[in-house]
Amino acid sequence: MVQSHLQHFELGDIELLSGEFLLDAALAYCTYGELNPDKDNAVLLPTFYTGSHIRNEGFFGAGRAIDPAKHFVVSVNMFGNGFSSSPSNAAVPVNGPNFPEISLYDNVFCQHRLLSEIFGVERIRLVAGWSMAGCQAYQWAAQFPEMVEAILPFCASARTSPHNFVFLEGVKAALTADQNFRRGHYDSPPESGLKAFARVYAGWAFSQSFYREGLFRNLGFETPEDLLKDWEDDHLNWDANNLLAKLRTWQTADISANPLYGGDFQLALSAIQAKTIMIASSSDLYFTPEDNKLEVRQMQNAELRIYDSPWGHCVASPGNDPEFTRFLDSAISELVETDIC
């Protein structure tokens, strides 16, 4: 497999959908496989909320539906995740709490520049992803409908629901209540806030049945408290302002909230030309199957598949449920192995 090292696409100063500017913007990305002479084998994998190009490697590989031996895989980090431009690595005056509001529209606009300016890609075979990465797949298909052949968002939605928004307000409040957060001007990590964020987050990432049935033991934890402590330790590795920057992006996710569609959500959904298979987890508390059912009715060429599982949103986390991996790969194969055009 031909794999690039982590690279950075320097975008310069970019004007955002909000009207603010992100100075010296950069997208961090990694590629796997080779772009063929016709440049028609590109598969784009954006990153999810706590993801990176490294975590994305769990969604493809030799013999998988997305296989670098056949596909040119571009794994691109979302703004705010610490690899691409983020509060933690931006220069004054847009660093820390002064980092501007970034939309999914902004992310996709810059990803489009990456694919077109660096690789000369004019058609994307597939955009796929879990959670916020799947939200970006929807955004791609609406923002550049003639460029995207297929999308497969899983455990995601085209617009953040009011209930999802409220959940995010809860984790945000837990983090920012730490007196050491200091409105984002902290000198050392607000550890109490990060731990509280993790504990609230874990309650929503898995379903009620997951905890009731003791499925946390499948992950090596004896008790729910063991799982919570593990999540605390993991979130201590995150910069608080980075988490909040991506959280704002998540909360404002809406494929119609831009000049192309003027807030007309139905129009944005109906404009998607890409062949679409969306996968929902039956017990996902963030991106519910009910939201996806409303979306699929308004799309031209879309199908919703619901995976029955007590694992909630985290059913899609690589390694959690091997059967889900097979379910996902089967759907991806239908999209990448079929002549869509």
Ordered structural domains, the chain, with CATH: 7-160+255-336 (3.40.50.1820), 164-248 (1.10.1740.110)
4 in catalytic set: no
Looking at residue 4, what is its pLDDT?
74
Rounded distance, CA 102 to CA 139, Å? 14
Mean pLDDT confidence for 10-34: 98
Decide if pLDDT at 340 tops 70.
no
> Which pLDDT tens digit goes with each residue over 221-267?
999 999 999 999 999 999 999 999 999 999 999 999 999 999 999 99
Decide if pLDDT at 122 tops 70.
yes
Q: How far from the centroid of its chain's Cα atoms is residue 233's Cα?
A: 22
User: Tokens 């590629």 — which residue?
Assistant: 31
Looking at residue 337, what is its pLDDT?
86
Question: If pLDDT is split at 50, 70 and 90, which confidence band does 308 have?
Answer: very high
Looking at residue 341, what is its pLDDT?
45
249 membership: H or E segment, kind and range: helix 240-251
pTM for this model (two decimals): 0.97
Of the candidates 100, 172, 114, 162, the one whose C-alpha atom is nearest the C-alpha of residue 287 is: 162
> Which pLDDT tens digit goes with each residue over 284-304?
999 999 999 999 999 999 999
71 in catalytic set: no
Cα Dmax for the chain: 56
Residue 42, both tokens: 């590109």
Contacts of 266 (CB under 8 A, 6+ apart): 298
> What interhelical angle do 191-205 and 240-251 show, nearest 10?
40
Rounded distance, CA 51 to CA 34, Å? 24
**Bond prior to 93 in cis (omega within 30° of 0):** yes
Residue 262, both tokens: 């003027």
Mean pLDDT confidence for 25-49: 98
Q: How far from the centroid of its chain's Cα atoms is residue 168's Cα?
A: 15
Rounded distance, CA 326 to CA 303, Å? 18
Question: If pLDDT is split at 50, 70 and 90, which confidence band does 339 have?
Answer: low
Options 207, 254, 313, 321, the catalytic residue: 313
Options 131, 157, 207, 317, the catalytic residue: 131
Of the candidates 309, 281, 265, the one whose C-alpha atom is nearest the C-alpha of residue 153 is: 281
Using left for φ > 0, alpha for ψ between -120 and 50, and beta otherwise, residue 55 falls in alpha
313 in catalytic set: yes
